[in-house]
Structure 1
């Protein structure tokens, strides 16, 4: 399965928007948090996990999805949310804790919810897998269209929820695809130090489902494998597991000193940054010229600037609404 020219350009656009959005967030995050760091201070409170480097995992999969399809994501969700079509302005406002945010500023960046495009994420490891299985079950029982995509990191493959979710999805032959984003680091722990098998896609065989491995953070290869898995799910072929070798260009969180990384690792990763690589590929293949790609980047930056301005200028939540939408 080969992406069309339009799909290739869409993937590049969403990858650029994600990167520019996170660059803007990174520039703002430490406002009010220096010289003495306090996570609660500044316009963006709380922890912040950036997904730069992992953009191909989002676009290669979400290029096949419709608004009625479901995506559950991780604590590192911006690239996935953008590729799924989450409203960028309301997403920015949620990250800033503003009343105009997706959840009125209650969730922050690790708990983004947009029912309009069926997107949700959670800060708890492997937490989205069960809800994705449940969503797939509901679609099957009601005879409604839609597949569920559950994104996790490679560390989540060692959680009980991983095995429980794969087992139920296989037993009930549900339309769900599990995506492992393997960036090689579970916070500061290397995969080899925490996981008994070198590649997690082999675990699919234990549950009678196909397992696939995509190397080199390649958006076109991800597109091809994800397309087959999603098509199978739509046609009652049951679940699949896809492991993607990707990269985390930043630390686990904003402020991570990254002392655990081997010397030279980050320089090596930066040299393989997927966005410049995709730009070069589009040019080499004749899918776009410099002017067209420059325009995509200019438009992406404008969209991000508008979203950040919207978030900064939005009102703070009314303290009187603190218990609204909360079980008491």
Structure 2
């Protein structure tokens, strides 16, 4: 989680120096979902997400230099400089997709391939609260559940964990102004859902582990909603202050996922304050070296 944050802060600095241009969506302060999910699944499981994907590509590939190289449109980038910020790929990771909501039916197709090949693995399909209003998302829900037919395929066949990332705001718009219902985990009437505190990596880990076991046991797909908060704006073109108050931002910053985990590890006697500071120092040095 600290590695993700330091990498994103370094990339943010490069962007402000105009070292690269175009669309760029930070994963700052949302590190718990990538860390929690990755420690609950295997490398054989598949993950697909939307354009805010740098945290997931790092957990899947573990190479800062190739991610920064991709942002800088270099040949040694993770997709050889051809994809940029929104289109990065690695083994077991299918993007990074620029069209809002487009990755959800793609992820359903990946799950169908797992069904066809009988791999016994799962697909985790991440998208934002804005994408939750797109029609293709609900079409994917229908297909994922419709093809979970015990008489034909067996209960374990459609193996997919569909996740909404609710950070309360879309592009300059409160979710409450864009969605008739913001209970995203209830969006499907026929697929069970669960709301998870995405600012708590241990809650994310537990929920993802439970979901993986649930769908592998043949119970069909799930819809998760990860309740989070984006401290920065929607993208680099959005300062994120025109539609919310400074008081709201200050209050939400008290619920930082990394600070929350540090406090728990120290309280439980797993790490000392000095060891936590040493981790921060080592990560900072590593990221500076790679960038």
**In structure 2, what is the equivalent of residue 162 of structure 1?**
137
Q: Secondary structure at the match of 1:71?
A: strand
Q: Assess, with a 3 A threshold, how the Cα gap between structure 1 residues 108 and 216 changes in structure 2: closer, same or farther.
A: closer
Task: Say if 2:262 is the partner of 1:279.
Answer: yes
**In structure 2, what is the equivalent of residue 324 of structure 1?**
none
| Aligned-partner Cα distance in 2 for 1:222–1:198 | 20
Shift of 1:298: 2.5
Shift of 1:152: 0.6
Task: Say if 2:115 is the partner of 1:140.
Answer: yes
Superposition pairs of residues 32-111 of structure 1, within 5 angstroms: 42-111=18-87
**In structure 2, what is the equivalent of residue 189 of structure 1?**
173
From 209, 217, 220, give the equivalent of 2:199: 217
Shift of 1:307: 2.6
Q: Is the 8 A contact 1:181 1:243 kept in 2?
A: yes
Q: Assess, with a 3 A threshold, how the Cα gap between structure 1 residues 118 and 77 changes in structure 2: closer, same or farther.
A: closer
From 191, 200, 206, give the equivalent of 2:184: 200
Shift of 1:216: 6.3
**In structure 2, what is the equivalent of residue 244 of structure 1?**
226
Q: Secondary structure at the match of 1:304?
A: helix
Shift of 1:297: 1.9
Q: Is the 8 A contact 1:68 1:118 kept in 2?
A: no
Shift of 1:262: 2.8
- TM-score, structure 1 length as denominator? 0.81
Cα deviations by residue, 1:18-69 (Å, 9 ceiling, x for unpaired):
10001111111121xxxxxxxxxx3222121111121112222221122221
- TM-score, structure 2 length as denominator? 0.91
**In structure 2, what is the equivalent of residue 124 of structure 1?**
99
Q: Is the 8 A contact 1:187 1:252 kept in 2?
A: yes
Which segment is superposed worse, 61-70 or 95-104? Answer: 61-70
Q: Is the 8 A contact 1:136 1:148 kept in 2?
A: yes
Which segment is superposed worse, 299-308 or 162-171? Answer: 299-308
| Aligned-partner Cα distance in 2 for 1:66–1:119 | 15
Q: Secondary structure at the match of 1:26?
A: helix
Q: How many pairs align?
A: 281
**In structure 1, what is the equivalent of residue 155 of structure 2?**
none
After TM superposition, the runs of 4+ consecutive aligned structure 1 residues lying more than 6 A away are none
Which segment is superposed worse, 78-87 or 91-100? Answer: 78-87
CA RMSD across the alignment: 1.6
Shift of 1:291: 3.0
| Aligned-partner Cα distance in 2 for 1:121–1:257 | 22
**In structure 2, what is the equivalent of residue 234 of structure 1?**
216
Shift of 1:156: 0.9
Q: Secondary structure at the match of 1:186?
A: coil
Structure 2 residues without counterparts, runs of 5 or longer:
149-157
Q: Assess, with a 3 A threshold, how the Cα gap between structure 1 residues 216 and 68 changes in structure 2: closer, same or farther.
A: closer
| Aligned-partner Cα distance in 1 for 2:115–2:47 | 16
Which segment is superposed worse, 76-85 or 164-173? Answer: 76-85
Q: Secondary structure at the match of 1:19?
A: helix
Q: Is the 8 A contact 2:86 2:96 kept in 1?
A: yes
Cα deviations by residue, 1:121-152 (Å, 9 ceiling, x for unpaired):
11211111112111111111111232111111
Shift of 1:277: 1.6
From 125, 128, 149, give the equivalent of 1:150: 125
Q: Assess, with a 3 A threshold, how the Cα gap between structure 1 residues 216 and 113 changes in structure 2: closer, same or farther.
A: closer
Q: Secondary structure at the match of 1:179?
A: strand
